[in-house]
A and B are shown apart, each in its own frame.
Chain A
Amino acid sequence: MHSVWAVAKNTLAQAIRMKVAVIIIILLVILLPLMSVIMVGDGTLLGKLQTFVSYGLSLTGLLLCLLTITVSTFTLTNDIRQMQLHLVVTKPIKRFEILCGKLLGVVILDILLLSVFASVIYCLTLLIPRLSKAGADELAGAGREFFTARVSLSADVDEDKIDMLAKQAYEKLERSRQLPESMTKEQILSELRGRERTQAQAVEPGAQRVWEFENVRLADPNEMLFVRYKYEVSVDPPDYRVYGTWLIGDYRQIQYGLGDWESPVARIERSELIRQFHEFEVSAEVVASDGYLALIFANNPYLNMTTIIPQEVQVLLKTGSFTGNYIRAVLLILARLIFLATLGISVSTWLSFPVAVLICAVAFFVGTINGFVLESLGVLDQTPNIIYNLTLRPILWLMPRLDGRFNPTHYMISAEVLSWRFLGQVYLMMVFVKSVFLLIFGIWIFSNREIAKVVV
Chain B
Amino acid sequence: MAAKDEHYAIETFSLTKIFPDWWGRAKVIAVDGLDLKIRYNEIYGLLGPNGSGKTTTLKVLLSLLRPTKGRAVVLGGETRDTKISAQIGYLPEESYLYKYLSARETLDFYGRIFGLAAKVRKSRIDTLLEMVGLAGMANRPVGTFSKGMTRRIGLAQALINDPELLILDEPTSGMDPVSTRQMKDLFLQLARRGKTILLCSHLLADVEDVCDRIGILYGGRMRVEGDVKSLLQHSDEKQIHTGPISNDVLGQIERLVRAEQAKYEVSSPMDKLEDFFIRTVTEAQEQKLPTSGAVSTGEIGGFLAEGEQTSNILDRLVSAPVARESESQPGSAETAEPEPAVAEADQDTDLLEQLTKSSTIPDRRDITTATEPVETVVDDQEDVNRDVLEKLTGGTERQDTSIDKSGPDQPGEDKDA
Q: Which residues of A contact B (CB under 8 A)?
A: 2-3, 5-7, 9-10, 13-14, 17, 82-94, 450-456
Determine the distance from Cα of A452 to Cα of B19 in the docked complex, in whole angstroms. Answer: 11
Are A456 and B85 interface neighbours, CB within 8 A? no
Convert B102-137 into 0s and 1s, putting 1 for each residue whose CB lies closer than 8 angstroms to a CB of A: 000100011011110000000000000000000000
Least Cβ–Cβ distance between B134 and chain A, in angstroms: 18
Least Cβ–Cβ distance between B25 and chain A, in angstroms: 10
Chain A residues within an 8 Å CB radius of B101: 10, 13
Return the contact of B113 from the options A6, A83, A453, A456 (Cβ within 8 A). Answer: A6
Could you tell me which residues of chain B, from 1 to 58, have a CB within 8 Å of some CB in chain A?
A: 19-22, 27-28
Closest 7 CB pairs of A and B: A6-B112, A92-B82, A452-B64, A92-B86, A87-B96, A456-B27, A91-B113
Chain B residues within an 8 Å CB radius of A84: 96-98
Chain A residues within an 8 Å CB radius of B218: none
Chain B residues within an 8 Å CB radius of A83: 92, 94, 96
Return the contact of B20 from the options A10, A91, A456 (Cβ within 8 A). Answer: A456
From B20, B79, B96, residue with most partner A Cβ within 10 Å:
B96
B159 interface contact, C-beta 8 A: no
Return the contact of A450 from the options B66, B92, B112 (Cβ within 8 A). Answer: B66
Return the contact of A92 from the options B19, B59, B109, B113 (Cβ within 8 A). Answer: B113
Convert B59-79 into 0s and 1s, putting 1 for each residue whose CB lies closer than 8 angstroms to a CB of A: 100111110000000000001
Chain B residues within an 8 Å CB radius of A3: 112-113, 115
Chain A residues within an 8 Å CB radius of B66: 450
Least Cβ–Cβ distance between B157 and chain A, in angstroms: 8
Are A87 and B113 interface neighbours, CB within 8 A? no
Are A86 and B96 interface neighbours, CB within 8 A? yes
Give me 7 A-to-B residue pairs in the complex whose CB atoms sit less than 8 angstroms apart, sorted by A's number: A7-B113, A14-B98, A86-B59, A86-B96, A90-B63, A91-B86, A91-B113
| With known contacts A10-B101, A454-B19, A93–B96 Cβ distance under 8 A | no
Closest to A456 in B: B27
Chain A residues within an 8 Å CB radius of B83: 92
From B62, B83, B105, B161, residue with most partner A Cβ within 10 Å:
B62
B352 interface contact, C-beta 8 A: no
Are A86 and B109 interface neighbours, CB within 8 A? no
Least Cβ–Cβ distance between A443 and chain B, in angstroms: 14
Are A17 and B100 interface neighbours, CB within 8 A? yes
B190 interface contact, C-beta 8 A: no
Determine the distance from Cα of A85 to Cα of B113 in the docked complex, in whole angstroms. Answer: 13
Convert B308-346 into 0s and 1s, putting 1 for each residue whose CB lies closer than 8 angstroms to a CB of A: 000000000000000000000000000000000000000
Return the contact of B64 from the options A2, A17, A86, A456 (Cβ within 8 A). Answer: A86
B88 interface contact, C-beta 8 A: yes
Convert B167-197 into 0s and 1s, putting 1 for each residue whose CB lies closer than 8 angstroms to a CB of A: 0000000000000000000000000000000
Add 12 more A-B contacts to A92-B85, A93-B113 (CB < 8 A). A7-B113, A13-B101, A83-B92, A84-B97, A86-B59, A91-B86, A91-B110, A94-B82, A452-B59, A454-B19, A456-B21, A456-B27
Least Cβ–Cβ distance between B366 and chain A, in angstroms: 35
B90 interface contact, C-beta 8 A: yes
Determine the distance from Cα of A340 to Cα of B100 in the docked complex, in whole angstroms. Answer: 25
Are B94 and A93 interface neighbours, CB within 8 A? no
From B62, B64, B94, residue with most partner A Cβ within 10 Å:
B64
Least Cβ–Cβ distance between A21 and chain B, in angstroms: 13
Determine the distance from Cα of A324 to Cα of B96 in the docked complex, in whole angstroms. Answer: 47
Determine the distance from Cα of A89 to Cα of B88 in the docked complex, in whole angstroms. Answer: 12
Determine the distance from Cα of A203 to Cα of B22 in the docked complex, in whole angstroms. Answer: 66
Determine the distance from Cα of A91 to Cα of B21 in the docked complex, in whole angstroms. Answer: 29
| With known contacts A10-B101, A13-B100, A17-B100, A87–B92 Cβ distance under 8 A | yes
Chain B residues within an 8 Å CB radius of A456: 19-21, 27-28
| With known contacts A10-B98, A14-B98, A89–B63 Cβ distance under 8 A | yes
Are A452 and B115 interface neighbours, CB within 8 A? no
From A85, A88, A90, residue with most partner B Cβ within 10 Å:
A90
Are B86 and A452 interface neighbours, CB within 8 A? no
Chain B residues within an 8 Å CB radius of A450: 64-66
Are A87 and B114 interface neighbours, CB within 8 A? no
Chain A residues within an 8 Å CB radius of B20: 455-456
Determine the distance from Cα of A30 to Cα of B157 in the docked complex, in whole angstroms. Answer: 42
Return the contact of B115 from the options A2, A451, A454 (Cβ within 8 A). Answer: A2
| With known contacts A6-B113, A456-B27, A89–B64 Cβ distance under 8 A | yes
Chain A residues within an 8 Å CB radius of B82: 92-94
Are A455 and B22 interface neighbours, CB within 8 A? yes
Least Cβ–Cβ distance between A84 and chain B, in angstroms: 5
Least Cβ–Cβ distance between B103 and chain A, in angstroms: 14
Chain A residues within an 8 Å CB radius of B110: 91
Chain A residues within an 8 Å CB radius of B28: 456
